Amino acid sequence: MKRNIKVALAGNPNVGKTAIMNALAGTNEKVGNWPGVTVKKKIGRYNFRGVDIELIDLPGIYSLTSYTLEERVTRNFLLKEKYDAVLDIVDVTLLGRNLYLTIELLEMGIKPILVLNKTDELRNAGYTIDKKILEDILELPVVSISAIRRKGLEELSETILRVATGDLKPKGIIPTYSEDLENAISLLLLKMKEENIPYNKRWFVIKLLENDPEIIEEAKKSLIFAEEIFKEIEVIKEALEKKYKCDLPSYIARERFNFASQIARRVIKRTEEIPRENFSDKVDKFITNPFSGIPIFFLIMWLVFKLTFDLSAPISDFIDSIFGQFLPNFLTKQLSFLPHFLLSLINDGVLAGVGAVMVFLPVLGILYFLMSILEDTGYMARAAALWDNSMKLFGLSGSSVIPMILGFGCNVPAVYATRAMRSSTERLITMLIIPWVSCGARLPVYTLFAAAFFKEYQALVIFSLYFLGIFLSLLLAFVLSKFFKQDGEEFFIELPSYKFPSWNVVINQTWIEVREFVYKAGTVILAVSVFVWALATLPAGVEYASENSLIGHVGKLLVPIFEPLGIDDWKPIVALIFGALAKEVVVGTLGALYGSEENIIHSLSNIFTPESALAYMVFTLLYIPCVATIAAIKQESGSWKWPIFSIVIELFTAWIVALGVYNVAKIVF
């Protein structure tokens, strides 16, 4: 009997693949009640009855045609990698739509375990599913589960074990379509009977008829009678398109949907009378209508920021007292035997640098918590749909909204999330504008300066910075769209039903983001704080963090560039340089140079005016992306040209806009 099993998880976006992996393997991967959360493979492992099971969570896809990166990643894995079983996970509340992918898997020759997720939601909606009939129709093992409520997991693991070890052998049907399409497939199979094809030949033929770009390229290179076969395809295409009044790929897609819909109608039964208009329909009349939905969107976002700052303030003050007073005093007394420079390293470098950042942990934690609630209720998917028409004014579509919203957490996964976009032009534009979406790492900088200069209007000032970032992002998208050729791909998104948020999911999402922030504080920010301390201490004998120190000399060289913005002190300028590594480092560096949050605020009050503070916040918002975002843009665009373009345009824009803000503020304040 096998002791190691590899299982692939496939399915449409937002069906709960990652939630199932988390439930089975105990992983803490991010899940979301909207599409596009999984954009690359994720792995989880667990042991069931002495067998090690490796789960590979593949990106969610709607079909196995190679139009998007997600589709290519999933399809290439299923075609070329080795595995013992495939879980085809479907959202049972959207069975007809989700079975489309099941049918494609069967065409490919894969005989998956069909996993019906969200069965509790189906029941609550007044429906039931006949699992036995579904098993008989598809000739596949079918398991009903609820990943969020951890129901049906034992049966699922048992079925995985039986299929992977050969105890249960799914037969799997061969989906059959209209007579015309079947005749076309049979004709091409006959023409290709001498060809050696490394995949299921029927699937290969269907993909040729669907005009799949990767399969066509492969056929041109490998088929012996390629020219003759492509001529025959053209004849078939002309005949079917003339008869059915649509292009051939659309006709094949319609055949699959018909097949899937017929199955769904046979197995889904209504158990109670359903009102013509349900709760989601009634709410969506306001949420997705631009006239009411856009004001509601801004109101919700403003409330999120208001709650974030009101709730986090007392916790932040407590953490500041720990890092700013208690720990320095305690360690100074306990470690008084250490040389002065080591005490300075601990207090001025480590505690001041890391502590200055940790003070903002409650702010980020509460912000992520509130955003996770919005995600899990299903609101974020509607926000993407709401902005679709508005985004077209800027040369984008609603598909850009999801990466941009993800960018509020961190720009790096947001850049990777563009993989789900079908239009290559919109994808490139979106990844170039994402760095201007205010990520959580910039929030400590905003909060620090808002507390020092705009205490009574913190939420409004910071909300305005987020708004400015989005406005300039869209403006840049509009300009870029005039130079890039559009490829006309349409945006569509599946709206999940509204639901009460699952606290397990919300807490897990918040923990993932908070954990990343704490990890950075303990690694990158700690290392940079020590490095800044060393530069502020050397050469030996200089006053700590004085203008005669090494870091003082570097900062003074750049002062003339920032003087027009009202910034004539070198320390905040140096903080911006180190902030290129990660934006949280700006506050960490200020902490290493000025001391605890209380000392920073006092020092900043003597250096900045409200006008120059505003210019500094705007510059922080707009200047270069962090190194991780630059690397992500390089990886996703496949060229250094675009990250360099991004750095140049953002540095230039940051200085110009900050200059404008400073001069306008001088008139207004």
Q: Quick check: 266 and 133 in contact, CB under 8 A? A: yes
DSSP state, 494? P
- 634, burial (CB in 10 Å: exposed 0-12, middle 13-18, buried 19+): middle
Which candidate, 353, 627, 332, 620, places its Cα nearest to that of 468?
620
489-511 burial, b at 16+ Cβ within 10 Å, e below that, comes to: bebebbbbbbeebbeebbebbbe
Sheet holding 113-117, edge to edge: 42-48, 51-57, 4-11, 85-91, 113-117, 142-144
Contacts of 593 (CB under 8 A, 6+ apart): 532, 536, 545, 551, 571, 574, 575
Residues that constitute the known binding site? 11-18, 22-23, 26, 57-60, 117-120
Whose tokens are 């040389």? That residue is 339
Residues that constitute the known binding site for Mg(2+)? 22-23, 26
594: which 2 tokens?
Answer: 């000025």
Which candidate, 653, 650, 654, places its Cα nearest to that of 432?
650
Q: Kindly write down the DSSP assignment for every residue of 139-203, as one continuous string.
A: TS-EEE-BTTTTBSHHHHHHHHHHHHTTSS----------HHHHHHHHHHHHHTTT---SS-HHH
Nearest-angstrom CA–CA distance, 330 and 22: 42
Which candidate, 583, 579, 573, places its Cα nearest to that of 607?
573
DSSP state, 275? P
Nearest-angstrom CA–CA distance, 509 and 419: 21
The number of C-alpha atoms within 13 Å of 172 and in the hemisphere containing its C-beta is 20
Q: Quick check: 401 and 387 in contact, CB under 8 A? A: yes
Q: Kindly write down the DSSP assignment for every residue of 549-603, as one continuous string.
A: SHHHHHHHHHHHHHGGGT---HHHHHHHHHTTT-THHHHHHHHHHH-SHHHHHHH
- 471, burial (CB in 10 Å: exposed 0-12, middle 13-18, buried 19+): exposed
Residues that constitute the known binding site for GTP? 11-18, 57-60, 117-120
Is the peptide bond prior to 413 cis by the omega test (within 30 degrees of 0)? no
CA distances 464 to 336, 460, 470, Å, are: 47, 6, 10
